Structure 1
Amino acid sequence: MRAIDIGTSRVIVATPLQSIHEAARLMQQHLTGCLVVVHANESGQTPVGIVTDRDLSRSWLSEGCDVQATPMASVMSQPVVVCRHDATLAQLIAIMHGSGVRRLPVIDEEGLLAGIVTADDALVAVTALLQQLTEVMLIEPPLEKHTALASNHHGTRDGNGE
């Protein structure tokens, strides 16, 4: 499983100059807990930060900022922690663990935004793998059958030629 397959390509984005009021409106409109802040150009969008609902609540409650005038650049987490689109499940979990983040923008080979993967997405992927392993363990023949199969394969009962 790769990061791009585990996460989603649907990412709600904003620019660093948009207000945190706009960030809150976008999060509510799209029912999401974060926005990826990007610089856009003709090639695509490059992630430069991330704003979470927690970032917004801290700004409003603790700093008492003017939500209409305060740009996202002042509250976004930066530099943004990202993962490559081909990162494995183990790699993206290691990135999350090492950086203490729960959301990773996914980038392609050029560093452009390709999606986002969350801790919840990773948990679903791990659970699916564990389910597959459980199924393997349930359908595996008992040890006695393995021993009989191995003995028959070697043409003898104990596999030592006796």
Structure 2
Amino acid sequence: MPSRPIHQVIADQPFVCVPIDLSVRAVTQLMKERRQSAALVTEHGVLTGIFTERDATFRVLAAGLDADATRVGDVLTHKPQTISGDKPFGHALHMMYDGGFRHVPVVDRSGRPVGLLSARDALALDAEAFSTELVRREEITVIL
């Protein structure tokens, strides 16, 4: 599984992508509606940053900022580490572990977002492998 290319892991997974001038409230509402824990923020279509639940908590709520008046561009994480879709999933996991973050934007060669990889994706792959292993064991039990 760690050698699986990232583009296969994120295939058909929705992600939130917003312009830099959108309000924090609008971004967090989109995140809630789409059940996403982060949003990729763009300027002229190119990734400029990432806004996560942690950013909302620590940079907006804890700072006492008005979510309606604060632009997401003022409180996002600038220039996050990114990865291309052809890299192995294990490489992204290593990046997340070393960097202490839970999300890695997936971008094309021009820096445009094509997806978002999260630590949750690793759990989904583990659950898939676990399910396959359970089925295999049940088949062996039936044979024996």
| TM exceeding 0.5 | yes
- Select which of 16, 19, 22 maps to 1:15: 19
Q: 1:27 aligns with which of 19, 26, 31?
A: 31
1:40-51 pair list within 5 angstroms: 40=44, 45-51=45-51
2-side partners of 1:14 and 1:27: how far apart?
Answer: 10
1:17–1:126 distance in 2 versus 1, CA, 3 Å: same
Instruction: Work out whether 1:38 is the aligned partner of 2:42.
Output: yes
1:89-108 → structure 2 map (5 Å cutoff) = 89-108=89-108
Q: How does 1:47-86 map to 2 (within 5 A)?
A: 47-86=47-86
For residue 90 of structure 1, give the secondary structure of its aligned residue in structure 2. helix
Q: Distance in 2 between matches of 1:128 and 1:68?
A: 40
SS in 1 for 2:62: helix
Give the aligned partner of residue 155 of structure 1.
none
* Aligned-partner SS, 1:55: helix
State the shift of 1:118 in Å: 0.9
C-alpha distance in 2 between matches for 1:129 and 1:109: 31
Aligned counterparts of 1:113 and 1:30: Cα–Cα separation in 2: 17
User: Are the equivalent residues in 2 in contact too, given 1:7–1:118 (CA < 8 A)?
Assistant: no
Pick one of 9, 21, 45 that aligns with 1:6: 9
Structure 2 runs not aligned, ≥5 long: none
Identity of aligned residues (%): 22
- Residues in 1 aligned to 2:37 and 2:127: alpha-carbon distance in whole angstroms: 23
Provide the rounded CA distance (Å) in 1 between the counterparts of 2:90 and 2:130: 14
Contact kept? 1:33, 1:52, Cα under 8 Å? yes
Residue aligning to 1:143: none
In the alignment, what sits opposite 1:111? 111
Measured against aligned partners, the alpha-carbon deviations of 1:14-63 in whole angstroms (never above 9, x if no partner) come to 111111111122112222211110123xxxx3221111122112234321
Moved over 4 A (4+): 126-135
CA RMSD of aligned residues (A): 2.3
Per the TM alignment, residue 132 of structure 1 is displaced from its structure 2 partner at its CA by: 6.8
> How far, CA to CA, are the matches of 1:91 and 1:133 in structure 2?
24
Distance 1:73 1:88, change over 3 A: same
